[in-house]
């Protein structure tokens, strides 16, 4: 598609064809309209609306509750954004790394991995619009949102906890809420099978909550809808570069600006807590072709979710554009770099235009109903 867009732009320039907003060919504009947020279908929950709302509210309480977190193994040193002293429990919750103020991404440290109870090997991805994705986490290990809790809960670097501890908290703190939503249980007569179901239902509640974390329209959406003043001229030029010369839309396409595929972009493993080798998608599939591949992230609200790349290697949008401008890193990564990652003949002004465009993708904040920490 991008090749056709580029050819149409060249043909239009030669023919003197009238441009949309004095910039875009008709074919370019038609392609840009495929990025509109309203192309996405509403997220639907199985069951009646009232129960879905109640289930999401239950999940919200679990999301913000640190009481089921296990012991901290990396202490707060005053600069690392940690959450307590070594050995302390009940200090870390999902929102500790998924900050509602930054579209549920980890924005604490520049050029860094994420710190939960210990350091993770990657920077945690944001959660907004996650329910639209086909797979989850950087490696795409999970294809159901409710399954991701297992990783967060049991990882020694995230919550460092167990299924049993999570279930105990539900029974001790949320029994009435749980029994109103699911087949009622008695805390004094809970078999192993029932405990397993309680865990699964708790995971479903958190996933239902996370499905409420959706973007509002961004200035770029308003521009596509007809408001020619919604974004600045530099952002418009950046949009044209994005779908053309800069090759961005080769991977970042559709309403989420992400193709839900996996690529080796050639970014060096960097960071004090990043492993020398991260095999990415290969660890899931075992297929050599997936060596070093990572899932394409959404670019919506990207200006608010630094640092960037799977291990937080870049701290600013300008750094990211420069990375692609020069065709990625020369080495220090696993796998074979995607052949589309090549040096780009971009001027400094064009780099600035691309950054302006990416900033225009920041949508309205998530409904405050879902970003506010509930009373425990």
CATH number, position 122: 1.10.760.10
Domain assignment present for 17: yes
CB 185 within 8 A of CB 94: no
Note the pLDDT of residue 16: 62
Note the pLDDT of residue 338: 97
User: Is residue 228 domain-shared with residue 335, that is, in the same domain?
Assistant: yes
User: Is residue 29 domain-shared with residue 67, that is, in the same domain?
Assistant: no
User: Is residue 312 domain-shared with residue 242, that is, in the same domain?
Assistant: yes
The residues, ordered by sequence, that sit 6+ positions from 15 with a Cβ below 8 Å of its Cβ are: none
User: Is residue 138 domain-shared with residue 79, that is, in the same domain?
Assistant: yes
Range of the domain at 196: 49-214
Domain assignment present for 365: no
Note the pLDDT of residue 189: 81
Domain assignment present for 371: no
Note the pLDDT of residue 9: 52
Domain assignment present for 296: yes
Domain assignment present for 344: yes
Closest CA to 2 of 340, 287, 237: 340
Cα of 231 vs its chain's centroid, Å = 24
SS3 sequence, the chain? CHHHHHHHHHHHHHHCCCCECCCECHHHHHHHHHHCHHHCCCCCCCCCHHHHHHHHHHHHHHHHCCCCCCCCCCCCCCCCCCCCCCCCCCCCCHHHHCEHHHCCECCCCCCCCCECCCECCCCCCCCCCHHHCCCECCCCCECCHHHHHHHHHHCCCCCCCCHHHHHHHHHHHCHHHHHHHCCCCCCCCCCHHHHHHHHHHHHHHHHHHHCCCCCCCCHHHHHHCCCCCCCCHHHHHHHHHHCCCCCHHHCCCCCCCCCCCEECCCCCCCCCCCCCCCCECHHHHCCHHHCCEEECCCCCCHHHCCCECCCCCECCHHHHHHHHHECCCCCCCCCCCCCCCCECCCCHHHHHHHHHHHHCCCCCCCCHHHHCCCCC
Note the pLDDT of residue 241: 98
Note the pLDDT of residue 169: 98
pLDDT under 50: residue ranges of the chain: 7, 12
Tokens linked to 357: 């465009």
Q: Which of 158, 184, 214 is the last residue of a domain?
A: 214
Q: Which of 165, 180, 214 is the last residue of a domain?
A: 214
CB 239 within 8 A of CB 28: no
Domain assignment present for 319: yes
User: Is residue 131 domain-shared with residue 94, that is, in the same domain?
Assistant: yes
User: Is residue 13 domain-shared with residue 81, that is, in the same domain?
Assistant: no
Q: Which of 167, 187, 214 is the last residue of a domain?
A: 214
User: Is residue 174 domain-shared with residue 38, that is, in the same domain?
Assistant: no
User: Is residue 85 domain-shared with residue 96, that is, in the same domain?
Assistant: yes
- What is the tens place of the pLDDT at every residue in 157-185? 999 999 999 999 999 999 999 999 999 99
Note the pLDDT of residue 117: 93
Q: Which pTM was predicted? A: 0.91
User: Is residue 193 domain-shared with residue 171, that is, in the same domain?
Assistant: yes
Instruction: Give me the number of domains the chain comprises.
Output: 2
User: Is residue 97 domain-shared with residue 36, that is, in the same domain?
Assistant: no
What residues pair up with 262 in beta bridges, in sequence order?
Answer: 295
User: Is residue 200 domain-shared with residue 223, that is, in the same domain?
Assistant: no
Closest CA to 24 of 217, 250, 235: 235
Domain assignment present for 369: no
Domain assignment present for 370: no
User: Is residue 353 domain-shared with residue 234, that is, in the same domain?
Assistant: yes
- What is the tens place of the pLDDT at every residue in 256-271? 999 999 999 999 999 8
């Amino acid at each position: 598609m991008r090749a056709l867009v580029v050819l149409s732009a060249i043909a239009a320039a030669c023919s003197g064809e009238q441009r949309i907003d004095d910039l875009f060919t008709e074919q370019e504009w038609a392609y840009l309209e495929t990025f509109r947020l309203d192309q996405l279908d509403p997220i639907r929950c199985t069951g009646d609306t009232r129960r879905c709302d109640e289930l999401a509210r239950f999940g919200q309480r679990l999301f913000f509750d640190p009481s089921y977190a296990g012991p901290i193994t990396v202490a707060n040193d005053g600069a690392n954004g940690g959450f307590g002293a070594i050995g302390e429990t009940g200090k870390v919750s999902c929102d500790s790394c998924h900050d509602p103020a930054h579209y549920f991404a980890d924005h604490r440290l520049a050029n860094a991995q994420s710190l939960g109870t210990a350091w993770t090997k990657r920077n945690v991805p944001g959660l907004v619009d996650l329910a639209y994705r086909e797979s989850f986490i950087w490696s795409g290990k999970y294809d159901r949102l409710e399954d991701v809790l297992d990783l967060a809960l049991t990882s020694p670097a995230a919550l460092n906890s167990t299924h049993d501890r999570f279930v105990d908290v539900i029974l001790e703190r949320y029994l009435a809420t749980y029994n109103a939503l699911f087949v009622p249980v008695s805390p004094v007569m809970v078999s192993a099978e029932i405990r397993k179901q309680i865990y699964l239902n708790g995971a479903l509640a958190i996933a239902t909550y996370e499905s409420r974390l959706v973007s509002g329209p961004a200035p770029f959406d308003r521009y596509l809808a007809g408001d020619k003043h919604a974004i600045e001229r530099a952002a418009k030029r950046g949009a044209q570069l994005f779908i053309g010369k800069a090759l961005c839309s080769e991977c970042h396409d559709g309403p989420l600006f992400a193709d839900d595929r996996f690529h080796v972009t050639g970014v060096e493993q960097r960071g004090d807590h990043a492993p020398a080798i991260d095999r990415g998608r290969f660890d899931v599939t075992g297929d050599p072709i997936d060596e070093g591949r990572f899932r394409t992230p959404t670019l919506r609200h990207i200006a608010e979710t630094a640092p960037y790349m799977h291990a937080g290697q870049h701290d600013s949008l300008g750094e990211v554009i420069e990375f692609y401008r020069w065709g990625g890193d020369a080495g220090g990564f696993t796998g074979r770099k995607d052949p589309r990652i090549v040096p780009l003949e971009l001027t400094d002004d064009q780099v600035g235009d691309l950054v302006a465009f990416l900033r225009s993708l920041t949508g309205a904040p998530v409904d405050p109903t879902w970003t506010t920490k509930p009373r425990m």
